[in-house]
Amino acid sequence: MDMKEKLQELAETAKARIEESEGLDKLNDVRVAYLGKKGELTAILKSMKEVAPEERPKVGQLVNETRARIEALLEESRKKLEETIREEKLKAEVIDVTLPAKKSLIGHRHPNTIALEEVERIFIGMGYEVVEGPEVEYADYNFTKLNIPEDHPARDEQDTFFINDSILLRSQTSPVQARTMEKGKLPIRMIAPGRVFRSDEVDATHSPSFHQIEGLVIDKNITFADLKGTLEEFAKELFGPETKTKFRPHHFPFTEPSAEVDVSCFKCGGAGCRFCKGSGWIEILGCGTVHPNVLRMCGIDPEEYTGFAFGVGLERIALLKYEIDDMRLLYENDIRFLKQF
């Protein structure tokens, strides 16, 4: 058999073996058997020395052609096999678009958040800015600059979580008043919502961590009348246009005069019911005109500027608005409860 026939036969058997290869592994075996280092074609190439020198270029060309042919067949077969594998995979992964979709559960806003956004909306509408202060605060801001003297019972460790002598978890949002005044940008018209902390046992109306919204206005010629008008408007927006307000004299160290504000019970309209414990009134916040000592300590001249401040309990608003009778419900994260708002 001459070299030409030999190569032709080799190409034929290679073709047959390639065609019957059923997987990429098998195909690779064929490649190795013919084109590999110890493969049949390679062996022929090695036996070239037995070929007469004048024949060598021709035979060499034949070997190369055979090699190219086998490579082309291998490549073609590989593509076909890969295509089949891909089709089978697609068939196996068919998606039935007629199946009902899985609904992803989107959460929604917590009653506290809804109440806060409502309060923010009202005050932003009156031209207030929303600012924030730190939850870990200096005693200086939480007490001293708010005219709360060293021996005041509010400083007692029973009420306040102290971190050390001078740093604590703020027990009220009022320190944001001092921080804002100290910045020196006047006039001021701001609310400051945020988390506050007190060493209280958990019960239906207490929690060691709750939220307040502080309010502060500083400008020339601000009087108690501005405070009354503002908070009356706030109460009407929040609880409805029929709402009446009552300012009861009270004491806070940082305001003088100070008051607590009650709103007429929006459940019974003031006649007295279970909701307002028969009084017809519900307490909602503390307020007053800013004490001159506070203004002075925060770098503002009380002869030139005056102002008013207030502090609202956010949970209290949420509980009232949504008629929730136990504050603990707000923190338990029971989805059956939260879903109702």
Q: Please give the residue ranges that form the binding site for ligand DAH (CB under 6 A).
A: 172, 174, 214, 252, 255, 286-288, 309-311
Query: Smaller CB distance to ligand DAH: residue 159 or 242?
Result: 159
Q: By CB neighbour count within 10 A (0-12 exposed, 13-18 middle, 19+ buried), where does 154 fall?
A: middle
Query: Smaller CB distance to ligand DAH: residue 14 or 312?
Result: 312
Instruction: Look at residue 23 and give its three-state secondary structure.
Output: coil
Query: Smaller CB distance to ligand DAH: residue 10 or 287?
Result: 287
Q: Which of 113, 215, 130, 212 is nearest to 171 (CA)?
A: 212
The CA–CA distances, whole Å, from 180 to 133, 294, 300 equal 9, 12, 11
**How near is the Cβ of 252 to ligand DAH at its closest, in Å?**
4
**How near is the Cβ of 275 to ligand DAH at its closest, in Å?**
23
Query: Smaller CB distance to ligand DAH: residue 298 or 309?
Result: 309
162 DSSP assignment: B
Rounded to whole angstroms, how far apart are CA atoms 237 and 52?
Answer: 109
Query: Smaller CB distance to ligand DAH: residue 79 or 162?
Result: 162
**How near is the Cβ of 150 to ligand DAH at its closest, in Å?**
18
CA atoms within 13 A on the CB side of 75: 6
22 DSSP assignment: -
**How near is the Cβ of 244 to ligand DAH at its closest, in Å?**
20
Q: By CB neighbour count within 10 A (0-12 exposed, 13-18 middle, 19+ buried), where does 242 fall?
A: exposed
Query: Smaller CB distance to ligand DAH: residue 29 or 140?
Result: 140
Query: Smaller CB distance to ligand DAH: residue 18 or 137?
Result: 137
Which residues sit opposite 214 in a β-bridge?
192, 311
Phi/psi of residue 189, each to 5°? -145, 95
Rounded to whole angstroms, how far apart are CA atoms 177 and 163?
Answer: 22
Q: Which residue is nearest to ligand DAH (CB)?
A: 311
CA atoms within 13 A on the CB side of 180: 24
**How near is the Cβ of 340 to ligand DAH at its closest, in Å?**
29
Contact between 245 and 287 (Cβ < 8 Å): no
Contact between 238 and 119 (Cβ < 8 Å): yes
Query: Smaller CB distance to ligand DAH: residue 34 or 137?
Result: 137
**How near is the Cβ of 146 to ligand DAH at its closest, in Å?**
8
**How near is the Cβ of 185 to ligand DAH at its closest, in Å?**
19
CB atoms within 10 A of CB 238: 20
**How near is the Cβ of 303 to ligand DAH at its closest, in Å?**
21
